Structure 1
Amino acid sequence: MRKSSRYILYLVLGFIIYQIIDSGETGLTHQDARNTLIVAILVVFILLLVIRVIKNRYDDGNGE
């Protein structure tokens, strides 16, 4: 699996979890849980992007 496709997979999985919570089939249907989940998804996505940039810079620095 390409590294860039992992981020899309994580985002889709997070969205699916968000929809399950919103569906009312679990006990976590209140608004606070939904808001916390969407913020957590965004934070994880941003952290993954930052880690990728740092790793690419580190790898480029060792190659020279």
Structure 2
Amino acid sequence: MKKSTRYVLYLVLGFVIYQIIDSGETALTHKDARNTLIIAIVVVFALLMIIRVIKNRYDNGEE
């Protein structure tokens, strides 16, 4: 995935999450939303690190 595509995807995802939280139609309080987002950020960060390690091992194996 190209970097520009990745950044657009992050921007759209952030906008969607913002709209869901700010829409007022959810039962989420700001405290619940904050806790959920903190957990989501940690999970996404961990997945990105795992993917980076796997990619580095794959790239080093081809050389």
TM-score for the superposition, normalised by structure 1: 0.60
Q: Counterpart in 2 of 1:16?
A: 16
Partner of 1:62: 61
1:49 & 1:17 partners in 2: Cα distance? 19
Which is bigger in relative contact order (C-alpha 8 A, separation at least 6)? 1
- Aligned residues of 1:21 and 1:34 also touching (Cα < 8 A): yes
Q: CA RMSD in A?
A: 2.6
4+ long deviations beyond 3 Å: 3-8
Q: Which residue of 1 aligns with 2:46?
A: 47
Name structure 1 gaps, 5 residues minimum. Answer: none
- Aligned-partner Cα distance in 2 for 1:12–1:22: 15
For 2:60 and 2:26, the matched residues in 1 are separated by: 48
Note if contact 1:18-1:38 (Cα within 8 Å) is conserved in structure 2: no
Give the direction of change, closer, same or farther, for the CA distance of 1:50–1:8 in structure 2 (3 Å limit): farther
Structure 2 unaligned regions, length at least 5? none
